Structure 1
Amino acid sequence: RKRGIPLPGNTVEELMSYISYDTPLTLPKFLEKFNYYMPAIAGDREAVKRIAYEFVETKAKEGVSYVEVRYSPHLLANSGVTPIPWGQAEGDLTPDEVVQLVNQGLKDGERDFHIKARSILCCMRHMPSWSPEVVELCKKYQNDSVVAVDLAGDETLKVEDYSEHKKAYEVCGISFYKEITRKWFSCALQAVYVLKAERVGHGYHVVEDPELYKELLKIKMHFEVCPWSSYLTGACSPDFTKHPVIQFKKDRANYSLNTDDPLIFNSTIDKDYGIVKEHMGFTEEEFKRVNINAAQSSFLPEKEKQELLNKLYEAYGMVPNAS
């Protein structure tokens, strides 16, 4: 209302009824949800900073000690970006300033809510022309809240088809395989062998390829598992007792439990914990193990990572390296 941008509904509750959902939707229907509220946020300095700050507040209330949040600076900008997203008129908020605002919001939140928050900048598969700047912003702010670069978006678009993605990651010091000799080329394979990823978001279908799965277990690739998200997006069987994370648990894979798009999925970390406890037989010991995994696979500098691990070991009454 402040910006004169129409939103569905007259109250927060009415708006949430349009944005959030709790039964599986197709990917296009899921993506439509962003169109309801992103035009009201993008290009607004106050909104961008406030959302970063309130994100930290929300995670602190959930009992989180450390969080990494990912976002696309370009999708929040209205200047210095082509095309300008969400049908905005051209303004004066660049991707660079977006990162500055998010960094400040996160730091203010850390100060007030006493947890640690860092960010991951997203390259978007459908906009490879943005990737070089994303990587440069990651390098520029790597000592100021930004800890990693990510590749997000439509997974049917193969990264090897877009030279901008390759060049950007090469500048960032990440090498590429020039040839892929395997007969399959899954999204996980692109991430690991083309972009040399250190973590894979979701990655549930790797269990369907025994050769790939065995190799990723061997190198201790970290999987970011989001049970509630996987249900709502149709990424896995709607029967939680058949979820791939059960196999991850059985094989003592390197994985963690996370929330994904908490606004749209109306979720907290407690919801994901509750799902795996109720439907997948997770015990307190497994929760401890996956949180140690998460800390060990975080993108924090080594000193800060060790401090986080020591905090968890003390809270869990564990001996270091006993995970």
Structure 2
Amino acid sequence: MNKSEFKTFLSAVPKAELHLHLEAVITISGIKKLYKNKFGKEMTKEEQKELFSYNDLNGFIQSFLKIQGMYSSVNDFKIVFDELEKYLVKNGITYTEVFFAPTAFLKMGFKYEDMVKIFHEKISKIKEKRGITVKLLMDVSRTFGCENAMKNYNLLKEFPCEDIIGIGLGGAEAKGPAKEYAPVYEQALKDGFKAVAHAGEDVGPESIWDSINFLHAQRIGHGITAIQDEKLMEEIKKTKLPIEICITSNTFTKKIVQKAKDHPVRAFYDKGLPVNINTDDPVFFKTTLLDEFWICHKDLNFTMDEIKDLVKNSFRQSFMSEADKKKAVKSVDDAWQI
């Protein structure tokens, strides 16, 4: 099966994506719209090139923040959700849990309650029009410190939104040790929210340990440095703690992985660790969920049966109800016609 045949086949199979940043599903076309709304002129090719000129995680984060800075008002989120809808349909995604990071927008003067009102309206329309379920995870963000993270969480509580099911911890991992955010996570879990954390992406296995021991994270984003710690891998296997794998993203940062074929997801899977496949930031890394599965098949030698298992994992390791997980897994079996 060549790449075109593979992607055509897999696009028709229901899938879930669990590690996806809202602002990063926007296309170049969408970015140009934001830019024109903000500055009243067209974005130049030089500006576009500069925006995507980065070669490490911190450089990428700065570009991420630049795009956030192009928003003129909360209404610009409508553009982003329209782009999200297109992305989900193109990749055959029927369920997703998407990170949104409010800090930059709050600093720009946007009202949180106005943002989530638009989120709910657009998510409801996607469900009605496409039958796709979108859930959100607030990235409380390690970039701006624990006090700011707690402020973000308090907004989540003050203005409830049925679409927001939990919190995550993104941002520059080396500058924001996970254990510093324990108070936010303790409160969120106590209040019944789900909790995930980026860890082991740019820092050693100690970051994953801290996310387990101090944050009690229910999934680990990236988690690739677990390969450096046999005891940690055994712990992850024993506790069935899911790892959200983002191959192209990890290959780009080159902190741990230089080439896709060297990504530890193959070793994780073979050892029985629970893993699921994601894009992280499609526009920044020029990838799609279909592309990520192709990399698994072509570069990491996952058989089609194993690809099918990985697709099911994304549903099984989601925060869907158990009944919905069973229906989703069955939908994969029903669509898998080889």
Q: CA deviation at 1:237?
A: 2.3
Does residue 51 of structure 2 align to residue 19 of structure 1?
Answer: yes
**Residues 1:167 and 1:200: Cα distance change in structure 2 (over 3 Å):** closer
Contact 2:248–2:292, Cα closer than 8 Å, also in 1: yes
Offset from partner CA, 1:109-135 (integer Å, 9 cap, x none): 222233222111111113322333443
State the partner residue of 1:49. 78
Deviations 1:167-200 (A, max 9, x none): 543643589xxxxxxxx97111111111111100
Give the SS at the match of 1:149. Answer: strand
Change (3 A) 1:162 1:196: closer
Structure 1 pair 121/102, CA: closer, same or farther in 2 (3 Å)? Answer: same
Q: Which amino acid aligns with 2:294?
A: G
Count of residue pairs brought into register by the alignment: 294
Q: Please list every run of 5 or more consecutive structure 2 residues that lacks an aligned counterpart in the other structure.
A: 1-34, 195-203
The answer to whether the aligner puts 1:5 opposite 2:5 as a matched pair is: no
Whole-angstrom CA distance in 2 between matches of 1:239 and 1:288: 23
Deviation at 1:48, TM superposition (A): 1.1
Helix, strand or coil at the partner of 2:299: helix
Please give the TM-score of this superposition, normalised by the length of structure 2: 0.77
Match of 2:317 among 278, 282, 297: 297
What aligned pairs does 1:177-256 form with structure 2 within 5 A after superposition? 186-256=206-276
Structure with higher RCO (Cα < 8 A, 6+ apart): 2
Segments of structure 1 that go 5 or more residues without pairing to the other structure are 78-83, 176-183, 318-323
Percent sequence identity over matched residues? Answer: 21
CA contact (8 A) 1:229 1:259 kept: yes
1:29 aligns with 2:54: no
Q: Residues 145-179 of structure 1, C-alpha deviation per residue, up to 9 Å, x if partnerless?
A: 2222111122222233356535543643589xxxx
Q: Which among 123, 126, 142 is matched to residue 109 of structure 1?
A: 126
* 1:123 aligns with one of 140, 146, 154: 140
Match 2:291 to one of 258, 271, 279: 271
CA deviation after TM superposition for structure 1 residue 136, in Å: 4.3
Q: Structure 2 matches for 1:300-315, cutoff 5 A?
A: 300-315=320-335
Distance 1:143 1:300, change over 3 A: farther
Corresponding position of 1:178? none
Equivalents in 2 of 1:19, 1:278: separation in Å?
30
Match of 2:162 in 1: 144
- Give the TM-score taking structure 1 as reference length: 0.80
